[in-house]
Amino acid sequence: MTLRALLKDPTTTAVWSKSASNEFGRLMTGNIHGVKGTQAMEMIQLSDIPRDKAITYASMVCDFRPLKEEARRCRLVVGGDKLPYASDSAAPAANLIESKILFNSVISTKGAKFMTIDISNFFLSSHMQHPEYMKIHQDNIPQDILDQYKAQQFMDAKEYVYFKITKGMYGLKQAAILAYKQLKENLSKHGYFPIPHTVGMWKHTSKPTTFCLCVDDFGIKYHSQADAQHLIETLREYYKITIDWSGKHYCGLT
């Protein structure tokens, strides 16, 4: 179901209205529910958008993710297909074969253990060199967000609110590669590098730690608590992360 339909249904309005509010709060400067904002986008006057810039649409994707901290999650996806982007926007990500190689390596190596780490709001941590612009109809914006940000002043005659995007967001063609390049730069400062001739395998220069990276999901082979903690503290220096020491779930696999 669409967010608009979920908001109109009395049995689902409260849950999904809060979920949508949390998503806008994450992308902006927070909301009334205590969500901390990333300042990835801000409301803007239509007249302040450069004439040579395209204005794209947005869609809200609603999903149920029982393993996530917020099980009922709304994602605001930018209509990247309407925005020009000349550079190569592809980013490497682990494939199934490399994941299986890592799993087998854990099983066959004495003393090896497996854990997973997930980066929260991964795309929203990367800054874009050039902003993008989009519009969202007020029917797809929760009332508390409209009130908090005084959206009426940014609304046109057809009740569309305009936004300036300054950080990577879902749907933007450049979001994945920007986030990957930033992650690679951050990890390299602490000795972690991609393994040559692989798609998503990484290792440390001196520690026996290796991991598969699939966008923002880490499947990690480690040998000691100290080695695992080194990677954890490295990631925490730049990102908010979720840790699963049991390693029971990785990219939909159990």
* Predicted confidence (pLDDT) at residue 6 exceeds the cutoff of 90: no
**213, 202 contact by CB (below 8 A):** yes
Specify the amino acid at residue 181. Answer: K
| Average pLDDT in the chain | 90
Predicted confidence band at 8 (pLDDT cuts at 50, 70, 90)? confident
pLDDT in the model for residue 89:
62
Mean pLDDT is lowest, of 27-36, 85-94, 147-156, 160-169, for 85-94
* Predicted confidence (pLDDT) at residue 32 exceeds the cutoff of 80: yes
Strands 127-137 and 55-56: parallel
pLDDT in the model for residue 189:
97
* Predicted confidence (pLDDT) at residue 220 exceeds the cutoff of 90: yes
Three-state SS letters, 108-126 = HCCCCEEEEEEECCCHHHC
- Both tokens of 197, joined, read 């001739």
- Both tokens of 55, joined, read 């204005």
